[in-house]
Amino acid sequence: GLPSPSPPVVRASLAAYYVLACAEAASNLARYDGVRYGAAGGGGYAAHRTDGFGPEVVRRVLAGNAVLSAGLFHERYEAAAKIRGALRAQFRELFREVDLVLVPTALLPPHLVDGGGPGATEVLGRDILTVPMSLAGLPTVSVPVPVEARIEGEDDAWRESGAETCGMQVVGPGLCDDLVLDAAEVLEKFIASRRE
């Protein structure tokens, strides 16, 4: 078979991604203090940042600062960085054998915006198929492809959602954005022609 990234690493990449992304977000958002821009009225750092950031941002900043804190840095940030390193190495191995990889964008159909949907953490969990490529820094384009819910039981969720398309990611090696965009266009045209 092909040296595809191993499942344990792929599974771990979701957590690794959020650790690293939140850490970077907390760091990059530190500049929003209301001193040079974005402030209306008085108030100090805490006031500006509490009012100025939405709930998701606040969540990520707090999580990011936590994983960067002295006590947790080694087990969280460093561990996540190691997983990213492993994932990148494995993808490099894979791209020695193939030019492109196709990966579905989502395992589950889209959920309703309001009412009865998954909780905040579960929503993050649905990124499992997009996160590995982000973490590995690989150019990826998601192309809508028609979905057919054929199998009884397994595909119930898809059938019930009424979704007609789902995304298919075209993934290429690092810095090969042109290749990926061209391939995505080919796939798009193919889908369109098959519809007719």
The residues, any chain, with a CB within 8 Å of residue 70's CB and separated by 6 or more, are: none
Q: Categorise residue 179: left if φ over 0, alpha if ψ from -120 to 50, beta otherwise.
A: alpha
Name the residue nearer to other proteins (CB basis): 22 or 101. 22
Beta strands in 114-174 (DSSP E): 140-146, 165-171
Residues 90-119 that bind other proteins (CB under 8 A): none
The answer to whether 64 and 55 are in contact (CB under 8 A) is no
Residues 138-157 that bind other proteins (CB under 8 A): none
Binding of residue 82 to other proteins (CB under 8 A): no
Q: Which stretch binds other proteins (CB under 8 A): 10-18, 62-70, 97-105, 169-177?
A: 62-70
Binding of residue 77 to other proteins (CB under 8 A): yes
Name residue 101's beta-bridge partners: 171
Pairwise CA distance, residues 133 & 118, whole Å? 24
Binding of residue 54 to other proteins (CB under 8 A): no
Binding of residue 2 to other proteins (CB under 8 A): no
Distance in Å, CB of 39 to other proteins, minimum: 13
Pairwise CA distance, residues 1 & 129, whole Å? 21
Q: Which stretch binds other proteins (CB under 8 A): 3-11, 22-30, 50-58, 85-93?
A: 22-30
Residues 152-191 that bind other proteins (CB under 8 A): none
Phi, psi for residue 104 in degrees, rounded to 5: -60, 150
The residues, any chain, with a CB within 8 Å of residue 71's CB and separated by 6 or more, are: none
Q: Which stretch binds other proteins (CB under 8 A): 68-76, 88-96, 102-110, 175-183?
A: 68-76
Interface residues toward other proteins, by CB under 8 A: 23-24, 27, 30-31, 33, 35-37, 45, 65, 68-70, 73, 77, 81
